[in-house]
Structure 1
């Protein structure tokens, strides 16, 4: 996928050729045509649903503005500066940090960022990777990496605990997710049944209108189809409609296929720790950050 640096050279070439004022959408439409983007590239989105190329185009525009190659004549529009129009690009293969650093305004921008950023404090990304990502993407990438590390640590801790601890953990998680009514009721329901492959029964809601049957296994080996079949048989004996199989390991392909046909929800080790992080179970916030952006409406004179 194109980085914001990959977009800078074709964007400048397009603007030099046409020498007009562009909106972001106009520039985007021309870019994806010139780059001959595939449908997959055009439709690729970030986790929050934003179009990747369009998002990175905004950062390409920002960096070119910091280098003094474009300016903003009006809201949401941009054009080449005199420096941008006269820039010789025929022998340029790609615009990167080194290229932009020939312009004093960009060097000042980079130096300011270094003084106020924590780049030196994020060793999980190589410098080359940092340079290829936009600042919010760096934060997002680091957050994902840190979350993955936390998940691995959580799973190892759980595996080293006793089965009884795991059962209590399942209770805490289900209650945190809103199941089981009271914590006391849930604790009574889990780990007490031991009825033909069912480890517990828990209320789906606080009124106890429907029941969920639980299989909770602190295992190392992959859970296979026979384990799911045994659980399905136990559910059938109880005339149960809903079941959840929770394990610290993984499920085989055959196990997943068998479960999907019966409406059994599978929670493996990765999903388990992901839910624990999401609902704040066994983890705590070390620090948090707010990323701000300009509120354009506040600066729209028509609103005053």
Structure 2
């Protein structure tokens, strides 16, 4: 069974605590996951941030929304308990509790549309906000912006000169922690522009091992003969590691060739190149930072 969206778990949350006995949030999550017959993989699937499972996040937001609507109370830290309004919702409410239905309660309506006086509403109107939790909305927005940026970066790289592209490859390797200094890496690249190899870069700052580079600013797909040529060059150099970077893509034959020998060859295509540039702040900069804070319950513990 697919993981339910956070609206689909709200009525089951109320049903789980219908007896009026306070229930720990952890136990609530387990019971809801069991009610939906989720597999272990579904239970362990995580948000893009990796900090929380999808199911725990959705149950958590379901609890928050029900609490803001007055259907649930939080009597003590980490506990939930149904309210009289929650019991009424179970007896007279819809089979599926939604954000739209919760808006009939003034407390929830105020929470759902609240924002600073000089800012637009934090919760956008429309279908996406009623299917995804705020954490998922943030993750989706971040992913969309990142994908757009990656596309713009790749277009810029493809329009650059071959010389600039070779330097970009060096800058990227250094940004990822390889190559020692930029000067050393640049010199190594210039000294080895032959025999199917565009450059050599240190694997670490001490130079305990080296990585051989091949950079192709192409628009056409890279096929197996190019990879075979690169592997041959590595073999003649008695090299053990190589990185082949292109602005285009690799054919299946090329990818198979890179995995068929003892020599470790990593293939980086255009989309992966753009992703690594974003991840390492190469050719881009941080425009704005949003800090998401959470309640520090320990602060309120009285000794």
Would the TM-score normalized by the shorter structure come out above 0.5? Answer: yes
Runs of 4+ aligned structure 1 residues displaced above 6 Å come to none
Q: Does 1:210 align with 2:209?
A: yes
Give runs of aligned pairs for residues 199-278 of structure 1, distance below 5 A.
199-261=198-260, 262-278=263-279
Q: CA RMSD in A?
A: 2.1
Gaps of at least 5 residues in structure 2 are: none
What's the CA shift for 1:87? 2.3
Match of 1:55 in 2: 57
Tell me if structure 1 keeps the 8 A contact 2:114–2:122.
no
Q: Does 1:104 align with 2:106?
A: yes
Q: In the superposition, relative to structure 1, how do residues 118 and 146 fare at CA in structure 2: closer, same or farther (>3 Å)? A: farther
Cα distance in 2 for partners of 1:171, 1:177 equals 10
What's the CA shift for 1:49? 4.4
What's the CA shift for 1:167? 0.8
Q: Does 1:79 align with 2:81?
A: yes
Residue deviations 1:45-79 (CA, integer Å, cap 9, x gap):
22314221112111100000000001111111010
Gaps of at least 5 residues in structure 1 are: none
Q: Secondary structure at the match of 1:32?
A: helix
Cα distance in 1 for partners of 2:280, 2:120 equals 28
Give runs of aligned pairs for residues 14-53 of structure 1, distance below 5 A.
14-16=16-18, 18-47=19-48, 48-53=50-55
Residue deviations 1:175-223 (CA, integer Å, cap 9, x gap):
2222222212211222542322111111222233321110000011122
| TM-score for both structures, normalised by structure 1 | 0.91
Q: In the superposition, relative to structure 1, how do residues 216 and 10 fare at CA in structure 2: closer, same or farther (>3 Å)? A: same
Match of 2:10 in 1: 8
| TM-score for both structures, normalised by structure 2 | 0.91
Greater percentage in helix:
1
Cα distance in 1 for partners of 2:279, 2:37 equals 40
What's the CA shift for 1:80? 0.7
Match of 1:178 in 2: 177
Tell me if structure 1 keeps the 8 A contact 2:14–2:90.
no
